[in-house]
Amino acid sequence: MSILAVIFDCDGVMFDSRQANINFYNHILSHFGLPAMSFEDIEFVHMHTAVESLNHIFKNSLYLDEAQEYRLRLDYIPFIKDMVIEPGLIEVLDFLKPDYGLAVATNRSNTIGTVLEINGLTHYFDIVVSSLDVNNPKPHPESIFKILDFFGIEAQACFYIGDSLVDYETARSAGVLFISYKNRGLNADYHVDRLMDITGLVSSDYPDNISRQ
């Protein structure tokens, strides 16, 4: 079956957003006089929704409800400057856009629209599904199903590109082909270390540096 659509995760695939996430959540912790995140906390917030992340890092605090309210009032724009577009992203989107449906499935909530707009990426994507657009965020497959329904395609006609265990579990639950970006520890259908390698996967010729499990 031919590939008809490509779905991108945001954090860790389209952007190196680790420092932005660290600065964002540490700012909220500091606002309530709490210490910065541990390494384990950083790994958690990289993969989960903002609500889940605050529930995690404030789990032993009396400020959880206040922290959730503060997050909703907090302007995310100052933190976007700390997000770095992954090398090759614009090139691969330019390559794919004319012939393939393009989508984003992310556990970001109210920040994804601003992130895409400020970086000039909004026009590339036919549909963007955030954690606010589903009842069950990733790793539940609802976001992927929503995108498949939008394009009117079967699961096997779609690639999902992610970098985390949450992304892998999402793809597996949805039945879509999973491309692991810069994480060879995941049991993915394909692994790529450069975003431009994706262009070979949607064509008949597979580059030598792309491995399939």
CATH number assigned to the domain comprising residue 207: 3.40.50.1000
Supply the range of the domain harboring residue 139: 5-16+84-212
What is the pLDDT confidence band of residue 130, given thresholds at 50, 70 and 90?
very high
Q: Which residue has the higher pLDDT, 109 or 143?
A: 143
What is the pLDDT confidence band of residue 205, given thresholds at 50, 70 and 90?
very low
Q: Kindly report whether the peptide bond that precedes residue 98 is cis, defined as omega within 30 degrees of 0.
A: no
Mean pLDDT (the chain, rounded): 93
Considering its fold, how many domains does the chain have in total?
2
In this structure, the answer to whether residues 95 and 170 fall within a common structural domain is yes
**CA pair distance 189, 194, nearest whole angstrom:** 16
What is the pLDDT confidence band of residue 47, given thresholds at 50, 70 and 90?
confident
Query: Which of 80, 101, 119 marks a domain boundary?
Result: 80
How many Cβ atoms sit within 10 Å of the Cβ of residue 75? 8
Query: Which of 80, 111, 133 marks a domain boundary?
Result: 80
Closest of 100, 104, 92, 89 to residue 170, by C-alpha:
104
What is the pLDDT confidence band of residue 212, given thresholds at 50, 70 and 90?
low
Tell me what pLDDT residue 127 has: 98
Tell me what pLDDT residue 209 has: 43
Radius of gyration of the chain (CA): 17
In this structure, the answer to whether residues 193 and 107 fall within a common structural domain is yes
Contact predicate 6/99, CB 8 Å = no
Query: Which of 26, 56, 80 marks a domain boundary?
Result: 80
Question: What's the mean pLDDT in 113-134?
Answer: 97
**pLDDT, tens digit, 9 for 90 and up, residues 156-174:** 999 999 999 999 999 999 9
Tell me what pLDDT residue 210 has: 47
Q: Which stretch of 88-97, 167-176, 178-187, 204-213 has the lowest confidence by average pLDDT?
A: 204-213
**pLDDT, tens digit, 9 for 90 and up, residues 12-44:** 999 999 999 999 999 999 999 999 999 999 999
For the ranges 182-186, 201-205, 206-210, the one whose mean pLDDT is highest: 182-186
Contacts for 152 with CB less than 8 Å, ≥ 6 apart: none
Mode of pairing for the β-strands spanning 15-16 and 84-85 = antiparallel
Q: Give me 34's structure tokens.
A: 């709490």
**pLDDT, tens digit, 9 for 90 and up, residues 135-158:** 999 999 999 999 999 999 999 999
Question: What's the mean pLDDT in 171-200?
Answer: 96
Contact predicate 189/195, CB 8 Å = no
In this structure, the answer to whether residues 159 and 203 fall within a common structural domain is yes
For CA atoms 162, 164, 170, 171, give the dihedral sign.
Answer: positive
